[in-house]
Structures are given as structure tokens and as C-alpha cells.
Amino acid sequence: MNVSPSATHESAFEAAAGFSPRRRTAALIAVACAFVMDLLDTTIVNVAVPSIGHSLQATTSSLEWIIAGYAVAFAVLLILGGRLGDSHGYRRMFLIGVALFTLTSLMCGLAPSVGMLEAGRLLQGASAALMVPQVMALVQVMYPPELRYRVYAVFGFLGGVSAALGPIVGGLLIDANWFGLGWRLAFLINLPVGAASLAAGMLLLPKGRGVEAVSLDIKGALLSVLLLFSILLPLIEGPARGWPLWTSAILAAALPLAWLTWRYLGWRDARGGHALVPPALLKRRRVALGLLCGLCLQPVIPGYLLVMTFVLQGGQGLSASQMAYACAPIALGAMLGISLLGPRLHRRLGTHTLLAGAGAQLASLLLVGWAIGLPAMPLWALALGQLGMGIGLGLVGPPLSNATLADVPLAEAGAASGLLSAVQQLAGALGVALAGLLFFHGGPAIDIGQAYDYVSAYRQVLPLFAGLLLGGAVVCFSLARSPAAPPTQAHE
């Protein structure tokens, strides 16, 4: 029996309608715990990377996979995870996602080898792609429209706090070294949080049946995975292995794979199926420019964090907790950019606010490069540079989403939003791969633990970051000059 597309909402709304305010709040806390767990995990791991390298004798390419693998799996399966919630129920998919995320966190925390840790991170990213899309869907189910804005504001605040506290918590856990676990605590801390979220979710979240008519584009997801790994695998493994023939062959296969994926998506869409990425979206000028802008600007922060982790811990001798405090201004700057500076600039500059964000990050990169090159690094310059990087990040995020989605019809809003989120995650993985390529292999060959010129390695990456920001600025300018469709067209 086919169920109408709104059936899952209706049954879940009916289940949530009788909730008392206290139960609704308790259910929200259960969902928020999972949301925070995902954000904390992302930021904690960056601080733990050098310790992981020493403990597991990992190569630089393995360390890049530990960061990028999570982002790739999360990005590719994010849209699919959202549709699984539509088809099988948000509560069910949320609980499965939380359970899998908790189990994969245990797998990462107990990993005896770097290969097992890499596999665990891929599976962890996949489980996050199943868990995270259900969070906002459950908010829509549990709260009426007039209350949702407050809830979204709470999640925005939690996101900022998690980004700020994640590196600090990770650094303190690693330096505390309880029971000799060291970096493993960065993953094992998810166990009590995940267990609490799972137990509370089972008791409190509203039940709702899924929509049988929703089809899942498994082939599209598999093609996307192959395409992404055909790009990232050579970029990460090639330099470490001396660019053997197979890495070049895989990289050369990326172009025909991209063509095949595009043709398949068009074929599926023409047959009335739910393509993983509707090709019609990419034909919208503002959507295409917004995604291209994201591909230019979004790789900078993840790549920068990877580089600065080694510069500060290896070159400057900071401990994990000191490194965490040094990165805290980035999160503070992001919160300032999103909540205070961004709205004011956007009222005056509109989409041109993106240019201000790119400019702030470029100036900050140069300031940090100057500071770490001095015999005694001035802390004020490092803090100011880190703060500027965060402010730039905060100035880019919301305006980019707003400009990209401005003329997307409501019927395509979910797919467009999911596509933008996926591209941002993929851009982060690409940033890690490219920054690692230049930082570790742009000069003389280096290994983790050896003494080398961190400042010189940082300067090897600087042209990449500058080029991405300048390229993003050009695309931002084109995006700002591209008029959005009138509301009657965008929302019909």
C-alpha cells in the first residue's frame, strides 16, 4: 500500500501533539545530544592527530584519511540519509544512526592499527549521515512553526559552543591521559553521550511511519563515492608512495566517472526517479555559482586547521591542551561573525558580505604566517589571526546559504539544502587532501616526529589558500551580481 508523502509527518505530528512541554523539552535534549556529539567529534579529532601519528606510527597520508574519510562518507550519504528518514521514519533512523555512531566511536577508540582507525572513521561518517538529517526533521515534527525559530536559535548556539569547546575538551582529555588512553579518549567520550541520547530517544521521541513511495538512489550514491575516491585517493596516497602508475590511472578516471555520474543522474531524473542530485538544480545559475563558491571557500578552514595543528604542536612545541586554547579564537570569531557582524554587514552589503569574509581570512593567513616565522612568536598576532579566520568563516556561511538557495522553489528546497551541505563537507575533505599534499610533500620529504622547518611548510600551503580565497572572491562577485528570481517564481 502506498502512503502519501506527508504521511510520515502526519503520524509523527499526531504522536507529538499530546506531548507535555516537559516531555517535548526532554526529547529535544536527546536530539541535541546527538547533534553536539557529531560537532564535538569533528573538532576533537583535529587536536588528536599528532598524538595518533606518534601512537600508531601513522604516515601523513593515513592522518589525512582519518580526517577526510569522515567528511567524505558524511557528505556522500547525507542526502541519502535524509531520504531514509522520509521513507522509514525519522525516529527509527535517528535511533539507528545514534547506535551506529556510538559503536563506530568505540571502534575508533579501541583501534589497534591505523588501518582500523581509518575504517572506523569512514563508518563513523556514514552513521553521522544517517543520524544528523533526522535532527532538524524531528524538530519540525515536535514543534509548531511559531516555536521552531527559538529551537533553531538554540541549535545555532549549541553549534558555536561545541565548535569552541571541542578542541579544548579534546586537548584536556589527551593531556590528562586517563588510564593511559591518551588520544583514544577523544573517541570514547562519545560512548556515554551516545548511550544517553539513544536511551532518551527510545523513550521520548514521537513514533511515525515512513513513506513507502520514496525511492532511494543507491546507484547514484555509489557512483558519487567512486568519483570522490578517484580524486582523493591519488591526492593523498600518491605523494607518499612516489606517484606510482596506479595513482595516475585512478586520477585520470575521475573525468569519465564524472561524465558517467552526470549522465546517470539525468537519466534517472528523466524517468521520474528521485535522483541523488537533481540535475535541474545545477542548471540554476545561483545554485551553480553558490556551489562553486563553496568549493573555493570551504576547503580553507579544514586545511588550515590540519596545517596549524602540526605547526603549533610540532614547530612551536605546544601540548594538545595548549593547542586547543590556541584554536579557541577561531570558534569565537565564527560566533561573532555569524551572530553579530554578519547580520549587520549583510544588511548593508548583501551577498557582497562573502567578499568581506574571504578578505578577512586572507589577511589572517598572512598575519599568522608572519607571526610563526619570528624567533619568538607573538601570541597577540596568533590570537588575532585565529580570530580573523573564524570571523571570515562566520561571514561566509549564512550569506552563502542564503544566496545559493534564494531562487530555489520550495519543492526543491530540501534537495538543494542537502546538496549545499554535502558540497561543503566535500570541500573540507578536498582542503585536507590538498593542504596535506603541499604541507608534507611540497618541500623535502618529511615524517611525523622528525625536525623540519614548519614555517617553510606552512608557506608551501599559503599560495593554495590564497588562490582558493581569491577564486572564491571572483565567484562571489558573480553571485552577488546574479539576480534572484522574484518570490513568486522561487516559491511557487
pLDDT in tens, 392-413: 988 887 788 778 877 777 556 6
> Which of the four pLDDT bands, split at 50, 70 and 90, describes residue 4?
very low
pLDDT, residue 12, reads 53
Alpha-carbon span 98 to 90, nearest angstrom: 12
> Which of the four pLDDT bands, split at 50, 70 and 90, describes residue 469?
very high
Alpha-carbon span 303 to 316, nearest angstrom: 19
408 compared with 2, residue with greater pLDDT = 408
B/e letters for 143-171, b = 16+ CB within 10 Å, e = fewer, are beeeeeeebeeebeeebbebbbbbbbbbb
> Which of the four pLDDT bands, split at 50, 70 and 90, describes residue 113?
very high
Cell of 385: 589571526
pLDDT, residue 487, reads 42
Q: What percent of the chain has pLDDT over 70?
A: 87
Task: Classify residue 57 as left (phi > 0), alpha (psi -120 to 50) or beta.
Answer: left
pLDDT, residue 412, reads 65
pLDDT, residue 450, reads 47
Alpha-carbon span 109 to 124, nearest angstrom: 12
The model's pLDDT over 411-462, given as tens digits with 9 standing for 90+, comes to 566 667 778 778 888 888 888 888 888 888 776 555 544 435 778 888 889 9
Cell of 143: 514543534
Over residues 138-156, the mean pLDDT reads 73
Residue with cell 556561511: 397
Residue with cell 536527546: 30
Is pLDDT above 80 for 99? yes
pLDDT, residue 210, reads 56
Is pLDDT above 80 for 49? yes
pLDDT, residue 6, reads 45
CB contact set of 492 (below 8 Å; sequence gap of 6+): 409
DSSP 34-62: HHHHHHHHHHHHHHHHHHHHHHHT--HHH
Sign of CA dihedral 54, 57, 59, 63: negative
> Which of the four pLDDT bands, split at 50, 70 and 90, describes residue 114?
very high
Is pLDDT above 60 for 489? no
Write down the pTM of the prediction.
Answer: 0.79
> Which of the four pLDDT bands, split at 50, 70 and 90, describes residue 313?
confident
Alpha-carbon span 99 to 193, nearest angstrom: 11
pLDDT, residue 102, reads 96
Q: Report angle CA 311, 315, 319 to the nearest 5 degrees.
A: 85
How many Cα atoms are found within 13 Å in the side-chain-facing hemisphere of 215? 11
Q: What percent of the chain has pLDDT over 90?
A: 19
Alpha-carbon span 363 to 366, nearest angstrom: 5
Cell of 474: 571572483
- Which residue type sits at 135? V
- Displacement of CA 245 from its chain's centroid (Å): 32
Compute and round to an integer the Cα radius of gyration of the chain. Answer: 22
pLDDT, residue 484, reads 60
Is pLDDT above 60 for 211? no
> Which of the four pLDDT bands, split at 50, 70 and 90, describes residue 19?
low
Is pLDDT above 50 for 256? yes
What average pLDDT does the chain have?
81
pLDDT, residue 7, reads 46
B/e letters for 374-405, b = 16+ CB within 10 Å, e = fewer, are eeebeeeebbbbbbbbbbbbbbbbbbbbebbb
> Which of the four pLDDT bands, split at 50, 70 and 90, describes residue 116?
very high
The model's pLDDT over 338-397, given as tens digits with 9 standing for 90+, comes to 888 888 888 888 888 888 999 999 999 999 988 888 877 888 999 999 999 989 988 887
Is pLDDT above 60 for 158? yes
